[in-house]
């Protein structure tokens, strides 16, 4: 089994390939093909959920990342002992989980649930835009020089983020506002997050109205190639390393809005998008 070639970065949702391996996943079956349109959950930064769909007509109940060591041992998801993309001696696999086995060597059709994929792609693009809009809205609240985001604002998102979960038509991002962030120059004290959300939402509306083109830079066909998200916003070209899937233009999102909830030292940002506007 060599590293799986992936077509989801190009927006593909169907394909045909050969089953090149099978690994047990509990009492289920993990099928590996040479090339797949399925996006698996990333074990290092599990933001975008796995695609659903069918392989050889069988439901794909989950899709996880696998890593095969040079000794031939395959590790799945959380059990992978190395970071995403470690190249020396490792092959990176998209593992399609099914209830029923398929024979190695079989030629199979792969069909991703295109509606769910489209909803997750919208949620993922909205998540990146929300991060940039919130960075801009919070820019005046930093007391020290900080790492800058692609639009030149202090990068609150990447400095404070704890977890990011992409959902259909949205995302949930959790930020830590504790001592280490204060040391880096950001204090949440006195910040009116209702106002910040309003400011960010105005920026997001302008970006949707501008229908900025979105594309992925794909340096190679392997699962763990270092892909980059690009969006040509009126304020400049934004680039963010990203392993997920996206829409092709910001107008597709319809409307993007963020809302915050603040608890102790954690700030949760819920981003939603959809054609409501």
Positions in the binding site for Zn ion (CB under 5 A): 242, 244
Distance (Å, whole) CA 153 – CA 132: 8
125 vs 203 by CB, closer to Zn ion? 125
37 vs 244 by CB, closer to Zn ion? 244
In the complex, what is the shortest distance from the CB of residue 164 to Zn ion, in angstroms, rounded to a whole number?
8
Count of CA atoms in the C-beta half-sphere (13 A) of 42: 20
Distance (Å, whole) CA 37 – CA 109: 10
161 vs 259 by CB, closer to Zn ion? 161
In degrees, rounded to 5, the angle at the alpha carbon of residue 85 between the alpha carbons of residues 82 and 89 is: 70
Distance (Å, whole) CA 252 – CA 72: 43
In the complex, what is the shortest distance from the CB of residue 240 to Zn ion, in angstroms, rounded to a whole number?
6
- Residue 244 has a CB neighbour count (10 Å cut-off) of 23
User: 252 forms bridges with which residues in the sheet?
Assistant: none
In the complex, what is the shortest distance from the CB of residue 270 to Zn ion, in angstroms, rounded to a whole number?
17
47 vs 62 by CB, closer to Zn ion? 47
In the complex, what is the shortest distance from the CB of residue 238 to Zn ion, in angstroms, rounded to a whole number?
12
Q: What are phi and psi of 121, to 5 degrees?
A: -60, -45
In the complex, what is the shortest distance from the CB of residue 48 to Zn ion, in angstroms, rounded to a whole number?
7
Residue of this chain nearest to Zn ion (CB atom): 242
68 vs 124 by CB, closer to Zn ion? 124
């Amino acid at each position: 089994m060599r590293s799986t070639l992936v077509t989801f970065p190009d927006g593909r949702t169907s394909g045909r390939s050969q089953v090149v391996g099978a690994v047990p996943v509990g009492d289920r079956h993990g099928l590996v093909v040479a090339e797949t349109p399925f996006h698996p959950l990333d074990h290092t930064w599990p933001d975008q959920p796995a695609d659903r769909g069918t392989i050889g007509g069988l439901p794909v109940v989950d899709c996880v990342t696998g890593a095969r060591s040079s000794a031939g041992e395959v590790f799945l998801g959380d059990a992978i002992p190395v970071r995403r993309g470690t190249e020396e001696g490792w092959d990176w696999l998209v593992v399609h989980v099914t209830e029923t086995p398929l024979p190695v060597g079989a030629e199979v059709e792969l069909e991703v649930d295109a509606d769910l994929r489209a909803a997750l792609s919208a949620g993922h693009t909205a998540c990146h835009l929300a991060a940039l809009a919130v960075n801009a809205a919070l820019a005046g609240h930093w007391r020290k020089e900080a790492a800058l985001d692609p639009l030149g604002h202090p990068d609150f998102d990447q400095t404070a983020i704890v977890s990011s979960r992409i959902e259909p038509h949205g995302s949930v991002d959790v930020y830590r506002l504790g001592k280490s962030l204060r040391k880096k120059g950001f204090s949440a004290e006195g910040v009116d997050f209702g106002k910040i959300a309003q400011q960010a939402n105005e920026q997001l509306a302008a970006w949707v109205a501008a229908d900025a083109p979105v594309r992925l830079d794909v340096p190679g066909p392997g699962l763990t190639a270092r892909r980059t998200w690009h969006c040509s916003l009126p304020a400049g070209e934004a680039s963010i390393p990203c392993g997920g899937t996206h829409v092709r233009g910001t107008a597709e999102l319809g409307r993007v809005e963020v809302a915050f909830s603040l608890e102790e030292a954690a700030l949760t940002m819920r981003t939603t998008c959809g054609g409501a506007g």
